[in-house]
Amino acid sequence: MTETTIRANKPNKLTLHGRQRKRCLFFLPTWPSAWPGVHFRFATAMPDDFSDSALVLVAHGSTLNADSAKPAHQHAEELRSRRLFAEVRVGFLKQQPGVDGVLRGVTARRVFIVPLFISEGYFTGKILPAEFGFRANDDKSFERVRQDGGQSLHYCEPVGTHASMTAALLARAGGVVEQHPFPHAPKPGETTLIIAGHGTAKNENSRKAIEQQVALIGARREYADVQAVFLEEEPRVESCYELATTRNIVVVPFFISDGLHSREDIPMKLGEPEKRVQQRLTDGKPTWVNPTERHGKRVWYSASIGTEPFIAEVILERVREAAV
């Protein structure tokens, strides 16, 4: 099993340590383990004081799937309960409350805007900075801090590019096999790990976060192979059967929410009939049964990364980095 300690020795410095251990526990200040065998610790040298600040979480959202908004509201509620910020708000691109009015009425001296997105791509690099006044549409680069009257607005890095995502992906992959070992749990060395992302032709950076994780995890040589697949770019999700070099495949969706893409699109592209997926959604059941045999492969499919409670800690890290 893997022990991963994430320490912020200074508010803007993060160190990630990983080592193999026979057995370890998993601790976070506010919630119990969801990933057996992985130990996360976020610690700062000084207490957080954002009592003069507002936190604004911005996410994609969807009018087609209510679950898309759940992680944003979940993490916002957790951070409100800690009373670290004067105010915590949530805004969405594709549903209400919208990002166009999320700053209206905010009077805090500092405002930290944290994108709940996986990559520094089309939405986080272009749409959101323009929406919040950090860049004009034709700007090739922009500053992440701007003044607006008496307010200082800080546009933070997206949560998905944070260093802790490597350990999170590994924990998801190991966890889904451990929870569903039938007929037996294969070793990572007997398994191909597939990281599924969105991808888009609108911005080449969209896939970089996924490809970076593939390189980092592949370099650890824990899995027989590690591959990236995408919904809207090549290689496509459905090609994972050809890409896999082993009979066992673990697919981890690198998405913030368990919404339309992760609960419907990817399972169907992996071979589940649409009618069956829709029936399972109606019945409140998982849309993929672990493991499932397809094309001579045995496939495990995990939940999305962004639904885990530890994302609240990543949000705080992004704020600390921007506050310095």
Task: Give 50-82 pLDDT, tens digit per residue.
Answer: 999 999 999 999 877 777 899 999 999 999 999
- Does one domain contain both 80 and 190? no
User: For residue 281, what is the domain's CATH number?
Assistant: 3.40.50.1400
Please state, in angstroms and rounded to a whole number, the distance separating the CA atoms of residues 180 and 176: 6
Which tokens in the block code for residue 19? Answer: 């080592």
Of 168, 266, 259, 246, the C-alpha closest to 213 is: 168
Residue 302: φ, ψ to 5°: -95, 175
- pLDDT score at 175: 94
Q: Is residue 44 part of a domain?
A: no
Q: Is residue 16 part of a domain?
A: no
Q: Is residue 75 part of a domain?
A: yes
SS3 227: strand
- Does one domain contain both 227 and 272? yes
- Does one domain contain both 142 and 187? no
- pLDDT score at 136: 83
Instruction: State how far the alpha carbon of 130 is from the alpha carbons of 150, 193, 237, in Å.
Output: 20, 36, 31
- Does one domain contain both 141 and 264? no
- Does one domain contain both 117 and 240? no
Rg of the chain over Cα atoms, rounded to whole angstroms, equals: 20
- Does one domain contain both 197 and 297? yes
- Does one domain contain both 274 and 207? yes
Q: Is residue 86 part of a domain?
A: yes
Q: Is residue 9 part of a domain?
A: no
- Does one domain contain both 218 and 260? yes
- Does one domain contain both 317 and 269? no
Tell me how many domains the chain contains. Answer: 2
Q: Is residue 174 part of a domain?
A: yes
Q: Is residue 84 part of a domain?
A: yes
Residue 301: φ, ψ to 5°: -130, 125
Q: Is residue 172 part of a domain?
A: yes
Please state, in angstroms and rounded to a whole number, the distance separating the CA atoms of residues 95 and 130: 18
- Does one domain contain both 218 and 314? no
- pLDDT score at 42: 54
Query: What residue ranges of the chain have pLDDT lower than 50?
Result: 1-37, 39, 41, 45
Please state, in angstroms and rounded to a whole number, the distance separating the CA atoms of residues 1 and 19: 9
- Does one domain contain both 181 and 131? no
- Does one domain contain both 82 and 210? no
Its domain, for residue 149, covers 50-161+309-323
